[in-house]
Structure 1
Amino acid sequence: MTDPKRLTQYAHGGGCACKIPPGELEEVVAGLGAAPASPNADLLVGLDTGDDAAVVRLRDGLAAVATADFFTPVVDDPYDWGRIAAANALSDVYAIGGSPVVAVNLLAWPRDVLPFDLAREVLRGGLDVAAEAGCHVGGGHSVDDPEPKYGMAVTGVADPARLLRNDTGKPGTPLSLTKPLGLGVLNNRHKATGEVFAHAVATMAALNRDASAAALDAGIACATDVTGFGLLGHLYKMARASGVTAVVDAAAVPYLDGARASLRDGYVSGGTRRNLDWVAPHTDFGAAGEDDRLLLADAQTSGGLLLAGEIPGAPVIGELIPAADHPVIIR
């Protein structure tokens, strides 16, 4: 690979920070109901609560899980971008309590601008992570696009009686987080300066498979993954869907090395600021200052699982309580 082009310079946003803002997205899908159910299948998880994947019961003890996720370059290294994008797409299946079975690639590429050897490396990264997950990759779809994008559509399986959902949280349950925050500010710094943060790449490329299995083993029923809407955005969605309030101990939330320094130096994405604007009316921030608010709303890419329950190795960052004046409280 001799091409010096920096992939992040061809993207208006990076990774999950390029998502449509959550408030705008909810306006778009408001009033759209689920498609009529097949007489031979039962839609168990659909559009209603904005959960991580769709789940359809196929028969007793077996459900199909379907999801798709793709985004613009989050790092300049094409192989690492492919690994991160694949791990992020697979995460939606793990976040619902499923196991991925087969995926297809989704690739948009500016064919007259970026050489195809870069695209090959992106696809190779996706293939390697899918292989690590034990998930087949059966082809895909590509388009000529002015902005590069990559991800996967993934199909998995799950036990319909053992799902992780975002609407099943109960008061008195601890909240755990399986990956540290700060990916957004580190990625934004990388995009602006070219600095490489190997620990951030390793965090994003890591599968949520083991955390999902541990959650199911622990009898946990409520979970979501933390991606473009930030911890606060996904926590608000969970609390709202479950009819509870989520209390976060700000001092207990883990962050990646360099996250606070990158925030201090101004590497905050527009997506993070939009996340904060969206959750602010629904959040009691207590004594949390602007820095903590921005980090808690930081737009993550391929983040960890947010669990209503405890598993080994995952820090407890708060708890669910009966519904209060605000769905989210920071202490």
Structure 2
Amino acid sequence: MDPIVSIKALSKRYANGFEALKSVTLDIEKGEILALLGPNGAGKTTLISTICGIVTPSEGSVTVAGHDIVTDYRKTRAMIGLVPQELTTDAFESVFDTVSFTRGLFGKKRDDAVVERVLKSLSLWDKKDNKIMMLSGGMKRRVLIAKALAHEPEILFLDEPTAGVDMELRKDMWEVVRDLRRTGVTIILTTHYIEEAEEIADRIGVINNGELLLVEEKQALMQKMGQKQLTLDLQAPLDALPDSLMDYALELGDGGTSLTYTYDTQAKRTGITALLGDLSAAGISFRDLRTSQSSLEEIFVSLVKDSA
């Protein structure tokens, strides 16, 4: 199946010479949730804005369902919904009217049933007559999504959709995103919250300094780049590691009462069996052991640091 969005060698260079995007190539599959992670100024918003037709690319191409975003811009923009970081609308307008108005901007005829369905899916129907200024921050975020869905797009871009909202509302928004995906909508989101990508994304993309560093399935990324640690709670504290254990990636902690061994998850041999044998030979015994794996946050920080 062809990707619903195909980006080829996309670059954006401004008049002052600044390169916001550097030859980005990416295919996005229909019905997936793709999370783009990156620090401030990494190029996330520029990439989304270019696909949506807000920013003109310097080089490269983007197609949406086979249509070029430049030559077939009417078709591509009709297929895309964008949820920006800020709500810009008349503060005294009602929720229902602002969503209906957005639908009209895409040349869609008035359809109160569609607007009603969108508002109900986002738990906004009871707020339909409220003025925008009366809504909480979390509800305004929902209105942003409702406006983006008013013309029934197949692709939804979410630019930091949960920035500034509390954890409870963030989890509610995650469920909204999952529900949208279940209806067949393809979702691309940018976020600073690592746990957000870890919770809802199918694939993770990491971007920094305008370059797409990698795109991987979430679980494959964590397995490929994550490290595992084996932590041993010792029977008796150690002042220092014996020479026989110096070849292992070991670290003493908790005042010498714990020993942590770090190993590669992709290695054919972890070295754990040999380590346990050498511990026994050195007269070191333990009362408990446990394993842990690198989090997505640790992987992300490592990638960005290496690319700086």
Please indicate, yes or no, whether the TM-score normalized by the shorter chain is above 0.5.
Answer: no
Q: TM-score, normalised by structure 1?
A: 0.21
**Larger relative contact order (C-alpha < 8 A, sep ≥ 6)?**
1
Greater strand fraction, Structure 1 or Structure 2: 2
Give the number of the structure whose alpha-carbon radius of gyration is greater.
Answer: 2
